[in-house]
Structure 1
Amino acid sequence: MTMTAAVPVSGGRHGSITLLLRLSDAIAAILLAADLVVVCASVLLRFCFNAPVEWSDDVARGLMVGSAFFGAASALARGENVGVSFFRDLLPLRLRTLVDAASAVLVVLISFYVAYNAIKLGSLTAGQTTGSGLPLELTFYPMGIGALFMTVFAIDQLCARPLPDIVRGLVAVAVVTGLYLAWDYLSPSSVPSAGTLMLIGFFAMLFGGLPIGFALALAALIFIWVEGALPGVIFAQQMARGIDNFVLLAIPFFILVGYLMEANGMSVRLIELLQRGVGRMRGGLNVVMVASMVLFSGISGSKMADVAAVGSVLIPAARRSKQNPGGAVALLAASAVMAETIPPCINLIILGFVANLSIGGLFVAGLLPAALMALVLIAVSIIFGKRPAEAEDVAPQMPVSGLWSGAIASFGLIFMIFFGFKSGFATATEISAFAVAYALVVGSLVFRELSFKSAAHSFVQAATRAGLVLFIVAAAQSLAFTLTLQQVPHAVGDFMLGLSKTSGVWLFILLAIAVLIVMGSVLEGAAALIIFGPLLLPVAVQLGIDPLHFGVVLVIAMGIGLFAPPLGLGLYGACLIGNVPIEQTVKPIMGYLGLLFLCLLVIAFVPWLSTALPRAFGY
């Protein structure tokens, strides 16, 4: 079982495809860098000269949409799109090959449909302007061109398969389409509704291993095609709308901070200082792992970036100290769950955006719940940890002065993030932009370890990872739009309200936790929150549950699902980073997740843990 895209990367890529990938990387990184300049300049002009730039938000959003789709194209070219491979791996080899080929065909079709309709939407909006007077089509044309790159990469990956497999994949897609058309022609009254076919198609493709972003997009497309009344440009418009928001720009910036910290040496210094301080106590290496995730999560919003930064240093250290690497990876994954509510978490930003909640309030609300879970993990690490003598060979060797410089720089970054929120000097997005600038200055001028080449590579990595996340967000928005058309939120709300009136609010909370754990395991975390957050939060408010408290509960539940075996995609990612088979992590991760689930129940039924700090800080 592996966390891989359903469509593998072409092994013998032609030079033209390699050149196109480099071009896609460069465009995505340049657009991200331009976004950084626009946001930082806008804040400085507003604060220092009281001269706000009216067009800055529109330009920043347009640049983000373009960067996201070029980054998503690069991610597809490298085979980084994740999908649920558990069920696909259970199929016989011949059937699995057929499913993989059909998935590759669908990726080509979806990519092309996005590209065609985004470019068409650009032409239809020609002459229209944004609120600040900028041409509206400048948002859609880069999106369409990025999707065209995606289409070319998808075709390349399809053509890398043996010709018989390609033919079988094309035939399979054509047969399914033909069967539906014949059924609709011969007996239209017996054909399932568009919503039913959408759900069937979504789960069939999801369990078949189709990358999650494409499975979400395909579900929305099935509804649009079957329902027949909506033009294709609506699909592209909804995808753009899903990420065309200044708040979401914090996602690529905070991801970039994480990569820059790794490149400029800040992460290694901070981890080694923690090892020097507590690494020789009982269970010290595990304590260092939890503490490192706490600190890194206070800087980078990307959990997988945090897992990579911490795991790349501490998993080899666990092997050197003869510790079970499966147990170490399990604790690393559990620490990522714990860190889901430590600001500036990407999932908190996404939930705040889709549910119209205060992002600053969510950030503050998540601190005490995260502290509770961290203390539990640290206590377990100490109680069941190894004796100090067994971990002597993992003591760090870097001079103390170098360690403290990294720690001071890291804490300066954390202070900047929290001071920015509390002071009201800047928004979450603007703070994330200055965090990037801070990491660049520290790495290049203070530590002198961040070269232009490594900084450029960090921008490419961040644009690719952010494109991966934002493409899923865009696809989830298109699916959420179709669900709204079918009045699913209203139906779910009525059902949950009726259930709660007869059985109590506690049952609603437990059901919400169960839904997010299950869907967080099946879907990537952002998609689960985008679809179910707006469904459940209005019901919670009607039942008198504090929305910030309930939002924190949803994010933690989603995190448990994301790292839960056998489907949790986050666990597969941690195993890949630690180079450990998932089978070695199942037993220890279930123990850790059991403890975190108990913590979640305490957090869910003791609202004070989530509401005390927001009230104290005026949220």
Structure 2
Amino acid sequence: MSGVAPSQSARHRIIAALLAASDAIAAILLAADLLVVVGSVLLRFLFNAPVEWADDVARGLMVGSSFFGAASALARSENAGVAFFIDRLPAGVRRVVDSVAALLMTVIAGYVAYNALKLGGLTTGQTTGAGLPLELTFYPMGVGALFMTIFAAELFCTRPLGDMIAGAVATAAIVALYLAWDFVAPDSVPSSGTLMLAGFFLTLFGGLPIGFALALAALTFIWVEGTLPGVIFAQQMARGIDNFVLLAIPFFILVGYLMEANGMSVRLIALLQRAVGHMRGGLNVVMVTSMVLFSGISGSKMADVAAVGSVLIPAARRSKQNPGGAVALLAASAVMAETIPPCINLIILGFVANLSIGGLFVAGVLPAGLMALALIAVSIVFGKPRASVAEVEAQTPMSGLWSGAIASFGLIFMIFAGFKSGFATATEISAFAAVYAIVIGSLVFRELSLKNAGHSFVQAATRSGLVLFIVAAAQSLAFVLTLQQVPHAVGEMMLSMSGAHGTWLFMLLSIAVLIVMGSVLEGAAALIIFGPLLLPVAIKLGVNPLHFGVVLVISMGIGLFAPPLGLGLYGACLIGNVPIEQTVKPILGYLGLLFLCLLVIAFVPAISTALPQAFGY
């Protein structure tokens, strides 16, 4: 035994050192990306000297940062997965299932790493449109995936030896069963598409993180068919996030973390408490309005939930309010905020469905306003009387509150003015928003230290790595689905159904699909898969694409926060430190209200189209 403990200790030190390196690389690449984007915009605007290579460098840095960030998230076991079903398995079975999941993550990550590095070698000597070496995109991706492989292997190896053996035997038995079936009766073996679908849902409900379940589904098709080289898989994953538009995701997530670190979040929420905190249901009104404002700044829903929930859930406890109800309202407010610009899911939908991101931003404002008013009305009607919330009075001096509010509204003004003026794209505006948050926190509030800023970059790189890894994996699956002509088949089916029963049926079916799949999948993955499938059908039926995009995003948001599978609801419960069972009853009431609002938005298109038409979209 004396030799085992030192060996484990050395292994843990190595993993800790690799995690620190992964964090540092992801954060440095993100910071370099920020400098490249801001510098290129300033040179273009001030000196009329556009930097031709800036977009290529920025995209390459993002791919590298995303994979290192995803590796760090994996090392900390932060990857989102569906735990509802495996939590109900017997303890022994659960351990074996978890071991299989860890082994599959190791295999998938290793496959990505090998083929990304191989692709780097194959593209040596080739250049991008701006003349930069193409392999500089794939080598960082491969090294990041290699880190991911090591961390996944560590998760597998930390399990008891018996569980590791059982997991390996179970995985080998499934593979052997397929090979034996294919050898004995090849004509009766299910098609590659059927195996891909079955594998996806089995692994998803078995707790495999969503990004890996999507990647495994694509790999199942590639391995069973045997006609596509592995480098195609790596190439499609890189292609899924190698786009300048998607850079807005890490930058807006960074803004959210910087706001939390520089004191802007606390000041703004405290001011709202002073303004409306003592009216009937005032704390709940503060929660909804806080989500409205923060969603217009950071773009990241979980960053918004963390910023608002970390302040107001403790306040709800102090005021003797049911914390389960407070978390439920927090989650419902996050659904409402799904269409408040600069929402990341609007950016993703605009990218995958080739829609105007600025147009989607404008189209989402009035629908969000309708839902916000509904939540505020319910909060006031069913809220506690004014006297019972006296305990939650903000203690921050007023002298420090207005500065935070002015700084926050300045950030909102920058975002909207940038879009309307055409000064910069969504990505470039998000970069300037991050710089603004750094300047305000370090020079005006003097609360953003170098250490806090560095930590914010690490958090942003990790969180965006999680999101973008899912986007990358979903792109590989979308490529396979396209090869199988699934989008065409789905479109034809829904067109025929809608032709017989009217556009209203198509709209209801689309809402149902996105609610269900938004609950099963992480929000971005549901939009990436179903947005390009459904949008062409909507356009053929004469539905305004911006209006339909808003309906899809709200539907996905309802599913994302719906019990029992909604991952967003689990995240809100973790932030509020409340068991999910305490939130089920109140969240169903709030989601029912939002669903009614969604039906109004879906069947009254002017709510979504009036502002885009006024602004020329």
Q: TM-score, normalised by structure 1?
A: 0.98
Aligned residue type for 2:475: Q
For residues 245-264 of structure 1, the aligned pairs below 5 Å read 245-264=243-262
Note the residue ranges of structure 1 that are not aligned, 5 or more in a row: 1-9
Counterpart CA distance in 1 for 2:154 and 2:312 is 38
Counterpart in the other structure of 1:226: 224
Selected match of 2:544 from 516, 527, 546:
546
Query: Among 25, 30, 33, which residue is 2:31 paired with?
Result: 33
The letter of the residue matching 1:365 is A
CA deviation digits over 1:394-443, x for unaligned, max 9? 10111112000000000000000000000000000000000000000000
Name 1:528's counterpart in structure 2.
Answer: 526
CA distance in 2, matches of 1:207, 1:12: 35
Q: Distance in 2 between matches of 1:501 and 1:295?
A: 41
Task: Supply the RMSD in Å over aligned alpha carbons.
Answer: 0.9
1:513-543 CA distance string (max 9 Å, x none): 0000000000000000000000000000000
Bigger shift: 11-20 or 49-58? Answer: 11-20
Residue 265 in 1 paired to residue 263 in 2?
A: yes
Instruction: Give the letter aligned to residue 131 of structure 1.
Output: G
1:154 aligns with 2:152: yes
Is 1:278 matched with 2:276?
Answer: yes
- For 1:562 and 1:411, how far apart are their aligned partners in 2? 28
Question: Whole-Å Cα distance in 2 between the matches of residues 279 and 525 of structure 1?
Answer: 32
User: What's the % identity of the aligned pairs?
Assistant: 82
Residue in 1 aligned with 2:401? Answer: 403
| CA displacement 1:253-295 (0-9 Å, x = unmatched) | 0000000000000000000000000000000000000000000
Residue type of the partner of 1:441? V
- Structure 1 residue 472: deviation in Å? 0.4
Counterpart Cα distance in 2 of 1:163 and 1:558: 41
Q: How does 1:362-401 map to 2 (within 5 A)?
A: 362-401=360-399
Superposition deviation, residue 92 in structure 1: 1.9
Q: Which residue number in structure 2 is paired with residue 217 of structure 1?
A: 215
Counterpart code for 1:445: L
Please show how residues 200-599 of structure 1 align to structure 2 within 5 Å. Answer: 200-599=198-597
For 2:3, the equivalent position in structure 1 comes to none
Q: Is the 8 A contact 1:11 1:160 kept in 2?
A: no
**8 Å contact from structure 1 (residues 253, 436) kept in 2:** yes
**Aligned equivalents of 2:490, 2:15: Cα separation in 1:** 46
Q: Which residue of 1 aligns with 2:5?
A: none
Amino acid at match of 2:46: C
Offset, 1:94: 1.7
Partner-residue secondary structure (3-state), 2:85: helix
Q: Deviations over 1:341-373 (max 9, x none)?
A: 000000000000000000000000000000000
Task: Give, as a single letter, the amino acid of the residue that structure 2 aligns with 1:326.
Answer: G
Structure 1: distance between partners of 2:117 and 2:474: 20
Give the Å deviation of 1:393: 1.2
SS at match of 1:86: coil
Q: Report deviation, 1:52.
A: 0.2
The answer as to whether partners of 1:311 and 1:578 remain within 8 angstroms in 2 is yes
C-alpha distance in 2, partners of 1:196/1:234?
21
Provide runs of 4+ in structure 1 moved above 2 Å: 10-13
* Superposition map of 1:8-27 within 5 A: 14-27=12-25
Q: What is the CA deviation profile of residues 324-346 of structure 1, one whole-angstrom value per residue up to 9, with x for unaligned ones?
A: 00000000000000000000000
Range moving further from structure 2, 82-91 or 439-448: 82-91
Q: Deviations over 1:543-565 (max 9, x none)?
A: 00000000000000000000000
The answer to whether the aligner puts 1:84 opposite 2:76 as a matched pair is no
Q: Which amino acid aligns with 1:124?
A: L
Q: Distance in 2 between matches of 1:476 and 1:13?
A: 33
Q: Give the secondary structure class of the aligned counterpart of 2:79.
A: coil
Separation in 2 of the partners of 1:160 and 1:576? 24
Q: Which residue of 1 aligns with 2:4?
A: none
TM-score if structure 2 supplies the norm length? 0.98
How many angstroms does 1:12 deviate by? 9.9
Q: 2:196 aligned with 1:198, yes or no? A: yes
Quote the offset at 1:586 in angstroms: 0.2
- Return the alpha-carbon distance in structure 2 between the equivalents of residues 255 and 78 of structure 1: 19
Q: Report how many residues are paired.
A: 610
Q: Gaps (5+ residues) in structure 2?
A: 1-7
